[in-house]
A and B are shown apart, each in its own frame.
Chain A
């Protein structure tokens, strides 16, 4: 058994920022991650990070308050407004701090951090490094961890990479530790700590057609959910309008921010034909653009014309040709490379075939504006896994990288203060933790020894397909019920899986089996929330209830695990600054 003052689970931007926050308050911390931190999904972010710096000539009058307003409006008024103000208020500091640590942001002609327009934002506010913003942020964050690791005058930051957490331990309402498995050796151990920051990222892989990394499964959120931390607003899953046909790799919103067009098979900029996107066109918010692309595809207008003829299918064209090679190469080099490598299309000469895909979980583990779980002492969540409710029903592009760093910092600092002020120690739970460790060892052993006929990969494929077919951009009772029932069937079948490989070293057979189990529980929570919310708000669109219904549904969905399945509840939204209004762009 190991003991640290603080634990961080997850080595993405949120987790590493939290670890640095602990270190700055001189609290010893262990960071556990199932992949080396540099391999975390944050690396894939392209477009940028929002902060009201006012560096763009058109952004002079921008402010954190206006950033807050755009965020709340974008959220379709489901965001908690005090949390949003805290979030946008810290944004300029966070971006400058990252610059001071070495992030190579792109620059304005005066040498300031460059900013570009993004959907739903009143001003160009998205700070970027070409189209590789996540890459440079994650590498710089890791560089800082490496730096602080060597500071002799500070307490330890210890990295446990390729340690997969499988269980959260809560004793009498207090988070006291986790159980984790060393993927390289199969060793299973308990880690105790006075406080835990959970930063396991998103769960896009419960769906087919997602922009998310292969490792972004439901398991990260499922572990605390199984242990008693409720999930919030899980039905709100963002669909990104522009993902590459085939592997669904993201084509950043920056493509449209830089002036790219969306065209149908007639070469028409079809967004002009829909009232909710006719004004802002390509830089309308993501939920609106995704729906209108899907409508266009459903009408049989999918495709695009180009010099080689007309291509048709379940996609539309993202047309960058008019930007010219030089600008594409300067601002969107990775996009060009991805389109060439993964789809054989050079955007200088041909539109990129794109379709909507799931991209981001607005919901997550329920926390307050300090990143703290209200019901479990010593437990915090940050980044995409958490839900302090700054995105509500729809997140604005560029706000999620910001969320990882803001809430990583806030949660880490708050938890450090909590630890420093604490007079008792979780070590009194040592006996309990030892029991849970034994229990978890047995559970994993039993799982590994399973020789049933079902393949967990097959169950996962069917789950992803059903989520793609029934819990997509347009939802209705019938399809959601179908998905719910299918998930129950898959949960039954899961009991009869087989694990072929019985070894201890790099047992991915076992790891995938665990991931699939997490997927099933989290997918069920998404569907349960979607069934229960009989209105359309932000990313959640119900065909039978196409309007927002503030009277009945201006509230957060809360989902608890009862040991077998999801149980539904509600929680108030914190308003107080801006009155809910119809969302128009």
Chain B
């Protein structure tokens, strides 16, 4: 175990008019199991109050703290420093999203794309009133395993080459969300959903680079979801299969 770490952080403050620059801080080994987030908090609270980054749960579930850490996109809270193969830890914000300050990015485009895919159950004829319970078989429910675990942290979005090439591209997180409803036996609006994701900034923009699946901190498979949507879309189009 190293006694201290160097955190090399990409800094940016819009109020100073200065271009982004790197700044290094020495952080002691704070405790057994010290995370990158522990280090950032230490810097913010004891070394440099101007450092900006988002956090909330510190447990890898709220999706606040995705950033680029030591070579890849990770959650700062879930990343233990001792498992990084270096004691100089480079930290910069998510890519392909405008920076507000330091490690804080403007998630607005990310959320807007999420809203575009109509991310809510549309049960149509499967609707029930709230006084009755709607059934779902275990095997149908199993199809939702994993996809529903997305924490919308944005790591996949930042890693994807297409979100850089086409600013309108819906991106892996929103598309996986769309798939979450497409595969839900309780949803009855596959047709409209496939239409939304099938437009020019949708699924066919994905060139299966698989970065999203590789970086996902929750080990989910957005690329697989996109592939499923493509398959469904083509079968509807070519074979005129009724969407189900």
Contact = CB atoms under 8 A, between A and B. Distances in A.
Interface string A401-437: 0000000000000000000000000000000000000
Interface string B102-139: 10100100010011001111010001111111111110
Contacts of B214: none
A214 B58 contact: yes
A53 interface: yes
Given A213-B56, A215-B56, A457-B45, A146 B132 contact: no
A365 interface: no
Contacts of A249: 58-59
Given A505-B101, A506-B101, A38 B149 contact: no
A41 B149 contact: no
Contacts of A135: 61, 149, 151
Contacts of B132: 96
Contact of B144 (A104, A109, A213, A337): A104
Contact of B135 (A43, A53, A110, A247): A110
A500 to B, nearest CB: 4
Interface in B146-202: 148-149, 151-152, 184, 186-187
Given A101-B120, A107-B136, A36 B107 contact: yes
A88 to B, nearest CB: 16
A56 B35 CA distance: 41
Interface of A: 35-36, 38-41, 43-44, 53, 55, 93, 96-97, 99-102, 104-107, 109-113, 129, 132, 135-136, 139-140, 143-144, 146-147, 184, 213-215, 246-247, 249, 334, 337-338, 341-344, 455, 457, 499-501, 503-509, 512
B28 to A, nearest CB: 15
B20 interface: no
Contacts of B13: 503, 505
A500 B144 CA distance: 47
Contact of A213 (B45, B50, B57, B78): B57
A254 B186 CA distance: 27
Interface string B75-116: 000101000000000000000000011101001000100110
A514 to B, nearest CB: 13
B134 A99 contact: yes
Contacts of B60: 337-338, 341
Interface string B2-23: 0000000000011100000000
B130 A100 contact: yes
A501 B49 contact: yes
B211 interface: no
12 contacts: A39-B56, A43-B57, A96-B133, A110-B135, A111-B135, A338-B60, A342-B80, A455-B46, A501-B48, A503-B15, A506-B102, A506-B104
